[in-house]
Amino acid sequence: MGRVCRVHEAPFLVNSRTASRNAPAGPSPFAVEAKALPREKFSDPALTAKGEPRASVPLVGLDTLWLNTGTLCNLACATCYIESSPTNDALIYLGAKDARRFLAEAEQARVREIGFTGGEPFMNPAMIPMLEDSLARGFEVLVLTNAMRPMRRREAALLALREEHGARLTMRVSLDHHSKAVHEAERGPRSWEPAMEGLQWLSRYDFSVAVAGRLLPGEGENDARECYARLFKDEGIGIDAFDPARLVLFPEMDADKDIAEITTACWSILGKSPKDIMCASSRMVVHRKGEAAPRVVACTLIPHDPGFDMGATLAEAAGDVALNHPHCARFCVLGGASCSA
């Protein structure tokens, strides 16, 4: 008998963040089950709450520069880490002129890849010019999108870019789960079919395409990959669900839930190297509302915390990053492991 792919039934209520008609049900199916984070944790960049030296990550080499296109999104997912919605413009649209300045600096720094994330990047009116600029400069480009209406409105421009640059442009589509019920419990009603249609369009026209998904609490990665593989086969989507670069499955994140702090001793206890952590090789440009110009932050996950604002230029942003945020522990270092001796 074949594997039974899990679904999760959830009522579709109203999201407190927005009254958007796309708002999802109350609790996210991906909610982290843990007690509240004690206030004394993640409060000192040098020391943990127990007084131990906090771990930090040096910039080994800038490989990926992320451009945050702005927080506005056509969706308002229950646990969007950046709290995007149709009304949240805490990060305003990045302008093509500002992007050009950072792309020029990235060329000097021999950056390999430019990543675009939001919000929904295709909400930004300068998205196509920024893509053209990035590809014309020879970068590899990765776009994180929900593949819904904002992307579909740019089909002609995207086809032209694919024609000219081929697989240097990769579109990574968020499909939170292999079941419609869980995906819509997180992303809102009527969010499944448009995402599937967007994915099918990208696949049909031979884009380099990937999917970003998530695991339910207790759901095994292999089981999830098998279920995604069945979905992709049934829906005619040309993605190898067993290739971790084509189907990326993320652990859960919740900045309000308790998690161990990361000390300098954790690296050897876990057998991990700071060089493997995302902020050893990437930075993100954000333009906060009320600020005259974009700034560079440590990574895609922490756009607002002033402790992770690294400077006004890539050169200024080359310093070490103190792992002083719950996301550093839960998402990047522990990923479900424990570094308690």
Residues that bind ligand SF4 (CB under 6 A): 57, 73, 75-77, 80, 84, 118-120, 146, 174, 277-279, 298-299, 301-302, 308, 321, 323, 325, 327-328, 331-332
Quick one: 95 or 150, whose CB is closer to ligand SF4? 150
What is the Cα–Cα distance from 258 to 252, expressed in whole angstroms?
13
Burial zone of 268 (CB within 10 Å; 0-12 exposed, 13-18 middle, 19+ buried): exposed
Quick one: 73 or 224, whose CB is closer to ligand SF4? 73
- Nearest approach in angstroms of CB 2 to ligand SF4 is 30
Quick one: 113 or 120, whose CB is closer to ligand SF4? 120
- Nearest approach in angstroms of CB 4 to ligand SF4 is 27
User: From start to end of the chain, where are the E strands?
Assistant: 56-57, 64-68, 113-117, 140-145, 169-174, 208-214, 247-250, 282-286, 295-297, 309-311, 321-322
What is the Cα–Cα distance from 65 to 299, expressed in whole angstroms?
9
How do beta strands 282-286 and 64-68 pair? parallel
Quick one: 220 or 319, whose CB is closer to ligand SF4? 319
Q: 51: which residues sit within 8 A by CB, 6+ positions away? A: none
Q: Are 71 and 77 in contact (CB under 8 A)?
A: no
Kindly give the residue spans of alpha helices, DSSP state H, lying in the chain.
96-108, 127-136, 149-152, 155-165, 180-187, 192-204, 221-235, 266-270, 326-327
DSSP string spanning 321-336?
EE--SHHIIIIIIITT
- Nearest approach in angstroms of CB 333 to ligand SF4 is 6
- Nearest approach in angstroms of CB 322 to ligand SF4 is 8
Phi and psi at residue 127, to the nearest 5°: -60, -45
- Nearest approach in angstroms of CB 265 to ligand SF4 is 16
- Nearest approach in angstroms of CB 81 to ligand SF4 is 7
- Nearest approach in angstroms of CB 57 to ligand SF4 is 6
Phi and psi at residue 119, to the nearest 5°: 45, -170
Quick one: 161 or 253, whose CB is closer to ligand SF4? 253
